[in-house]
Structure 1
Amino acid sequence: MYVTAAVLSVLLALGSLAAGAPKALLKGDVPAALQSHMGLSAGFVRFIGLAEAAAAVGLVIGLFWQPLGIAAATGLVITMIGAVGFHAKAGDYTDPATRNNALSPVVFLLLAVAAAVTLGLAM
Structure 2
Amino acid sequence: MFIAFVTVTVIGAVFNGGAAVIYLIGHEYPKTQADIKGIPRKYVPVLGVLLALGTAGLLAGFAVPVLGTIAACGLVLYFIGAIIAHLRVGSRDIVGGIVFLVTAVATLAVGLAHHGAA
Superposition TM-score, scaled by structure 1 size: 0.86
Distance in 1, Cα, partners of 2:84 & 2:105: 17
1:106 corresponds to: 98
Whether 1:8 aligns to 2:12 is no
1:42-121 matches, cutoff 5 A: 42-93=41-92, 99=93, 102-121=94-113
Distance in 2, Cα, partners of 1:43 & 1:72: 23
Indicate the percent of aligned positions where both proteins have the same amino acid.
26
What SS class does the counterpart of residue 63 from structure 1 fall into?
A: coil
Q: Give the 4+ runs in structure 1 shifted more than 2 A.
A: none
What residue ranges of structure 2 are gaps of 5+ in the alignment?
A: none
What SS class does the counterpart of residue 37 from structure 2 fall into?
A: coil
RMSD (Å), alpha carbons: 1.3
What residue ranges of structure 1 are gaps of 5+ in the alignment?
A: 94-98
The farther-off stretch of 78-87 and 36-45 is 36-45
Show CA shifts across 1:33-85 (max 9, x none).
Answer: 12321221123221111101111111111122211111111000000000000
Number of residue pairs aligned between Structure 1 and Structure 2: 115
Distance in 1, Cα, partners of 2:21 & 2:41: 14
- Displacement of 1:24 in angstroms is 2.7
Distance in 2, Cα, partners of 1:90 & 1:37: 8
The farther-off stretch of 12-21 and 28-37 is 28-37
